[in-house]
């Protein structure tokens, strides 16, 4: 967090950038440092000084405390923040470039979470109700961004991108978990779709696929014995 040392550096930079504007006694300067430090304490190290440097390079007048704080927060609320429309466009591009037999590598964990919230990658690829799916995706995605903004403002995360990563970890939204869910979706599709779909599931989670096949074979054998069959094809 920004402490007294960084606050003094901020005030020193302002003083140098606008020579002759400030004349404080040591007592007055100490009081100013204490006030600024208390208001900048929730910012990550270096954020206040970086904001100050950006301001003095573009403003004719010395930045105030609120100017420095607002500039630092604006960076926190935009860094790593992907646009919802761009996120949905990434999903639609993956329909053709990746297909439903593989799971895409998304540019943001928020996209992965929104895809799962809508019903999963296989569901989206079917495109049965694309308008409704898009609306639900955007609603979930924007909700994640709003929550990320809240985490940034209360100081839990330094930026939107970092907040989204924290949320993804909390929800265990990693590649391993996504692949397990994808495999379950694929296995559930086997009776409806063609061999290539089954091959996709085999590639994504071969052990789960083997267990599924073994279970299906056992059920088939049980049915045949119950009917008085030999169990042989």
The two three-digit tokens of residue 164, written as one number: 């989204």
Q: Assess whether pLDDT exceeds 60 at residue 132.
A: yes
Q: pTM of the full predicted structure?
A: 0.48
Higher pLDDT, 84 or 75: 84
Kindly tell me the sign of the dihedral angle through the C-alpha atoms of 152, 156, 162, 168.
negative
For residues 39 and 35, what is the distance between their CA atoms, to the nearest angstrom?
7
What is the tens place of the pLDDT at every residue in 173-184?
Answer: 444 454 455 455
Q: Collapsing DSSP states into helix, strand and coil, what is residue 149?
A: helix
Query: What number is the average pLDDT over the span 125-129?
Result: 77
Q: Which is nearest to 14 in space by CA: 53, 60, 67, 66?
A: 53
Q: Give the pLDDT band (50/70/90) at residue 218.
A: low
Look at residue 115 in the predicted model and tell me its pLDDT: 92
Query: What number is the average pLDDT over the span 160-166?
Result: 74
Q: What share of the chain is helix, strand, coil (3-state, %, to 5)?
A: 70, 0, 30
Query: What number is the average pLDDT over the span 11-28?
Result: 90
Architecture per CATH, domain 4-76, reads as Orthogonal Bundle (1.10)
Query: What number is the average pLDDT over the span 82-87?
Result: 84
Q: Please, is 75 exposed, middle or buried when counting C-beta atoms within 10 Å of its C-beta (0-12, 13-18, 19+)? A: middle
Q: Give the pLDDT band (50/70/90) at residue 77.
A: low
**Where are the domains positioned within the chain?**
4-76, 84-173
């Amino acid at each position: 967090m920004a402490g007294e040392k960084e606050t003094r550096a901020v005030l020193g930079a302002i003083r140098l950038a606008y020579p002759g504007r400030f004349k404080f006694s040591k007592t007055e300067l100490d009081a100013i440092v204490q006030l600024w430090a208390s208001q900048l304490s929730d910012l990550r190290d270096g954020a206040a000084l970086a904001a100050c440097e950006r301001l003095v390079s573009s403003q004719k007048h010395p930045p105030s405390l609120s100017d420095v704080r607002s500039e630092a927060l604006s960076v926190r609320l935009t860094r790593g923040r992907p646009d919802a429309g761009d996120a949905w466009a990434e999903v639609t591009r993956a329909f053709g470039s990746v297909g439903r037999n593989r799971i895409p590598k998304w540019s943001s964990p928020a996209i992965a979470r929104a895809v799962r919230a809508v019903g999963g990658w296989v569901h989206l690829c079917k495109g049965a109700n694309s308008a409704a799916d898009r609306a639900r995706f955007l609603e979930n995605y924007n909700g994640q961004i709003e929550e990320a903004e809240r985490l940034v403002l209360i100081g839990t995360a330094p930026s939107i991108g970092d907040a989204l990563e924290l949320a993804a970890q909390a929800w265990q939204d990693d590649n391993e978990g996504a692949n397990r869910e994808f495999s379950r979706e694929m296995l559930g599709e086997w009776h409806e779709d063609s061999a290539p779909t089954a091959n996709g599931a085999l590639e994504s989670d071969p052990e789960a696929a083997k267990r599924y096949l073994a279970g299906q074979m056992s059920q088939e054998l049980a049915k045949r014995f119950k009917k008085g069959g030999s169990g042989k094809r």
